[in-house]
Amino acid sequence: MSESRPLRVAIIGAGPSGFYAAEALAKELEHVSVDLFDRLPTPYGLVRFGVAPDHQKIKSVTKMYEKTAQRDNVRFLGNVAFGQDINHEDLKRHYDAIIYTVGASSDRNLSIPGEELLGNMSATEFVAWYNGHPDYEAHISVVNAEAVAVIGMGNVAVDVTRVLAKSVDELKTSDIADHALEVLKDSKVKDVYMIGRRGPAQAKFTTKEVRELGELLNADIVVDEAEMEIDEASLASIENDPTTKKNIEVLTDFAKKPLEGKGRRVHIRFLASPVEVMGDGKVEAIKLEKNRLEPSGDYINAVGTGEYETLAVQMVLRSVGYRGVALPGVPFDERRGVIPNDKGVVLDAPKGKPVGGEYVAGWIKRGPSGVIGTNKADAAETVEQLIALQGEAELHDDVNKNPEVVLELLQNRGVPYITFDQWLKLDKLETEAGLASGRPRVKLTNVQKMLEACAD
Ligand code: NAP
């Protein structure tokens, strides 16, 4: 490696993991040249399209990513789709190493009857819609739903519950997509049921997030004290788990708090599994089976009791976890929905052999878990492996590895790639539009319009 022949690394996916990997490479290696690709013209992945619009503080992490993108040896190349505009063979030819940081863009379903009914959808879809992801611009109607069931007890379930329960006044100071605000302002939602198959001690949300539900201006919280009883096995399992203990305190306070007669109600329900979404063409109800808990080794299972309940709802949002999607030409573990790897080194199959020169970080490496910051250590582990395997390599002059050649390739293919400076123009336009209306930004949600805004 030398100044004239740095290690060339392509990172596929400019979300948090992509930026953390780029930063780690730029910090650790003297002679490195990183290209950070994204299929969309905008950087930041789930920070822009996943983090809730009313959680602006979390989004301030992009200030650090901005610094990474402005390093001399890091280039952001947006609007370049892997497998379409640039493929696996191209990357092998133009880079010494590839890191996949594409996240987990799909979701898991419940595998129960009625999931095809209108009004049943994934939280992934709903979140992407209200966050203005260009793939999800299409109208999602919540206008006619008076009651919504949100299945799952993770932070995503809390996010979608909160967005559904908030008044338009609470939402209009966020960077929620204009099309979502337009629909939600006419929302008739009265009851949102957040439904967990296990008990309060197994809920996956964090304390800050669940506590925030109690601060909603427009919604009371309903928790049934009977569902707050913690069994012995659960008590033992949380002995050294301060977060869960705090969660239980918050939920217990909710259960004791008298209702104030606000416009909406958020019902936090435990020990119930959806068994059927019911309706004629569209969602009209959800059938739940009551569960009891049964320990099995270290895990506490939900086991159906044969007792059922039907809730009248007109919309069902399943929030039961994201799932990775296979990339063309890259190994994939169908069972886990990740790229098979050993500490970030891509393997040809689960527990297989390294493919060589290919790495992975973030959700597509370990599955959809952890907060944004979790990806920093995760990307650092991957970069450590990359450096151990390739950091000392003797690199020879190679015309294809010239950073200009890949730009020529994209130009020759007519791919209108977006540089970081171009993104900054779009960023400015969005934040200035926000300023005018008292919001952090007003997002463009259409790729063509984004490209026009980025144009020189
Ligand atoms: P998650 O935390 O894994 O939660 C998934 C939930 O779905 C769990 O409650 C799980 O219950 C339930 N579930 C799974 N399969 C089910 C089924 N068949 N029937 C009923 N329930 C089922 O996933 P997530 O909420 O999608 O969040 C993904 C990651 O992003 C998490 O690490 C989360 O903390 C993070 N995140 C953080 C924030 C934030 O910091 N503000 C915001 C959003 C997301 P079991 O436990 O019983 O499996």
Distance CA 333, CA 326 (A): 8
* Domains in the chain, CATH or no CATH each: 7-105+323-418 (3.40.50.720), 109-320 (3.50.50.60)
Q: Which atom of ligand 1 is nearest to the CA of 153?
A: 9
362 in contact with ligand 1, CB cutoff 6 A: no
DSSP string, 130-197: HTT-GGG-S----TT-SEEEEE--SHHHHHHHHHHHS-HHHHTTS---HHHHHHHTT----EEEEE-S
Q: What is the pLDDT of residues 263-301, one digit of tens each?
A: 999 999 999 999 999 999 999 999 999 999 999 988 999
- Quick one: DSSP state of residue 355? E
Q: Which atom of ligand 1 is nearest to the CA of 208?
A: 41
Distance CA 111, CA 405 (A): 47
Probe ligand 1: pick from 57, 110, 155, max atoms within 8 Å of CB? Answer: 155
The pLDDT value given to residue 362: 98
The pLDDT value given to residue 89: 95
The pLDDT value given to residue 237: 92
114 in contact with ligand 1, CB cutoff 6 A: no
Beta carbons of 265 and 259 less than 8 angstroms apart:
yes
For the chain, which ranges sit under pLDDT 70? 456
122 in contact with ligand 1, CB cutoff 6 A: no
Q: Which residues contact 170 (CB under 8 A, 6 or more apart)?
A: 54, 216, 217, 218
- Please choose, from the candidates 203, 169, 195, the residue with its C-alpha nearest in 3D space to the C-alpha of residue 184: 169
**Ligand 1 centroid, distance to 269 Cα (angstroms):** 15
3-state class of 114 per DSSP? coil
322 in contact with ligand 1, CB cutoff 6 A: yes
Count of other CB atoms within 10 angstroms of residue 415: 17
- Please choose, from the candidates 272, 256, 297, the residue with its C-alpha nearest in 3D space to the C-alpha of residue 194: 272
- Please choose, from the candidates 100, 94, 135, the residue with its C-alpha nearest in 3D space to the C-alpha of residue 410: 94
**Ligand 1 centroid, distance to 176 Cα (angstroms):** 22
